[in-house]
Amino acid sequence: MLKINHKTLFFFLFISFAFKANSQLLSQKLTTNWSFQEQDEAKWYPAKVPGEVHVDLMANKLIPDPFYRDNEKKLQWIEKENWDYKSAFSVLPDVFSKQHIELIFDGLDTYADVYLNGKLILQANNMFRQWKIDVKKVLKLKDNKLLIRFRSAQNTVDSLAKADVPFVIPDNPRTYARKAQFHFGWDWGPKLTGCGIWKEVRLEGYDQKPIEKPFVAPINVELVQQPDEKGTSFYFKIDGKPIYMKGANYIPSDAFVTRMTKNDYRKMLLMAKDANMNMLRVWGGGIYESDDFYDLCDSLGIHVWQDFMFAGAMVPGDKAFFDNVREEVKYQVKRLRHHKSIVLWCGNNEIDEAFNRWGWQNQFRIPPKDSAKLWNDYTRLFRDSIPKWLKEVDGSRPYISSSPKYGWGVKNSFTEGDSHYWGVWWGNEDFETFENKTGRFVSEYGMQAMPNYSSVLKFTQPQDRYLFSEILRHHQKAGNGFDKLNVYLKNYIIDSAKINKLSVEDYTYLTQCVQYYGFKNMILIHRSKAPYNMGTLLWQLNDCWPVVSWSITDYYDRAPKAAWYAVKEAYRDDVKAERDVVKPKDLKLTNPKITYQIKGNQIILKSASFAKYVFVDITGYKGKLSDNYFDLEVGKEKVITFDLKELKGKVFVVKLKSLWDVIGK
């Protein structure tokens, strides 16, 4: 038995107290007094930190809204320029007194040379890493000058790709940059390749470095992939219980990610929760999301499938790139691993499928030797290196190297692994094709629709509001997108001869109806295949700007599109929704002569004949209704509710539209 006298105890307590005092970490944010300029222009403007250059340019009225009309293409010059950010600051005396002082950047986007008091202290090259520099010897108590010089990411990747020629890394030079890949444009997003100090900047002072707490796994999760009589299973066990995953893919909710607030995230994630979702896949072409996102997923009981930030392009194989990614992986996993919401790490989005099935070898005329190197570099990163690095910081969660395991043209995609089935939409196949082509876990599939008409009004002028105008085409980024949409309108909703005669408002309504029909029935087919199928994650929950897309919510106000209501019903567990047995175009509709009355926060509707896809639109209302785009039976009242507080003191008008109003004309 150990004996401790009073003197020993006092000495022990003194040492303990001294250690805690010395290990105290003091922090000072450096988020004020920033300005920016186009490099070497010598004209500085106020800047916001965290922020990004396009947002700063807008705030200073130096550029118009990039989302309006076709302004996006008029602002491409921004990505070709270099930009400077500067600040002056004094150090808090308590911080300055510490033996060690680190300057910490939680996020620099992307190629940045950092100068403190005229000395180059950092050359950053990864948007997803945290950068720490010991600046004790460079700092002064007062009048410190911090300058960050950002180099054009587009110019940089173009230069890197050119230097590698004749070796070509498909399919875009963007792959050289450890930067959000969607910044370089996507089939639902604008090309706004900017830069900026996109996360917090601070000083941290300490005498003894704080000890890192040991990691304890917050959740017991297993990805079960076991051979069975039909192939190989793919499902999640959470705390020993198999869970059928109902959800969606999540992209950044704003093309300018720094504009997202906690309230914005809350509204977006409640849209998922209220649609009865229990999983979101954070897609690999965006960003590792903010702490607010994961905190909210934790509290809402939403499981997160977390991709690493790689999508649709092969990767460089040099040591510098691998070292950079290693630091990124370790930092991001350590940052996020305490969240119980995260149940899977996934190496990348669609790169395995792309290399094997997208025809890159012919398109880029890749010789066999280069093709072998590309595949070797790919496997070294995603099948060897990332799982090794991941195990060092979080060995508690499952990892898969790529999503999907097999492409949608491969038979095995229906019997093992997760599947991205794009025969619907890209292959113009009917929604019912899933009867025979539902995989074990469908992690991508979708159907497009126009954004809400209120959004169309925001990004167009009156002269733009005719079908397939140049401005509408600018807000449709998918190849042959309108042609594909029209195939589904013709197959399910309306005679093809009538499509080109539609107003933009009616066309918007009909595309949302076909998206409603598609998602409802595809989900119900998937769910009917359980337990063979154990997950359905539609593409996509959200938009990053106003655009024709697969999203079930609108960019503005995060308002629901028609399909959101369909998904909400199809994902219910308490009531089993029924599949449609008749296509809307085959219904014998007559004028329903719908009437309504308003009582408090209720709208009570009646119909003289069967009404399909009744759309209730309240002018100026930015919330969601309890139901919309519903069917109305003869002689039955339908009561829907809305948030009366949002319309308090406002004069509003209720407008109704049903399918008969458009196709019955």
The residues annotated as belonging to the active site are 350, 444
CA 338 to chain centre: 21
Contact 639, 604 (CB under 8 A): yes
The H or E element containing residue 564 is: helix 562-570
Strands 144-151 and 111-116: antiparallel
Handedness of CA 544, 549, 553, 559 (dihedral sign): positive
Which 8-state DSSP code applies to residue 109? B
If we measure between CA atoms, which residue out of 491, 466, 485 comes closest to residue 549?
485
User: Kindly report the CA angle at 422 between 420 and 425, in degrees rounded to 5?
Assistant: 150
Q: Kindly state the tokens that stand for 1.
A: 């038995």
As a residue count, the chain comes to 665
H helix intervals, 82-237: 93-96, 153-164
- 246 close to 571: Cβ distance less than 8 angstroms: yes
Cβ-count burial 378-412 (b if 16+ within 10 Å, e if not): beebbeebbbebbeeebeebebbbbbbbbbbebee
- Paired tokens of 390: 């991941």
8 Å CB contact between 135 and 122? no
Helix, strand, coil % in the chain, rounded to nearest 5: 35, 25, 45
Q: How far apart are CA 259 and CA 66, in angstroms?
A: 14
Q: Are 201 and 131 in contact (CB under 8 A)?
A: no
Mapping DSSP to helix (H, G, I), strand (E, B) and coil, where does residue 152 land? Answer: coil
**Best CA proximity match to 609, nearest among 587, 635, 630:** 635
**Alpha-helical segments (H) within 410-555:** 453-459, 470-474, 481-492, 496-499, 504-528
Q: Is 89 helix (H, G, I), strand (E, B) or coil?
A: strand
Distance set, CA 206 to CA 19, 199, 578 (Å) = 12, 22, 62
Q: Which residues pair with 26 in a beta bridge?
A: 205
Q: Is 221 exposed, middle or buried (0-12, 13-18, 19+ CB in 10 A)?
A: buried
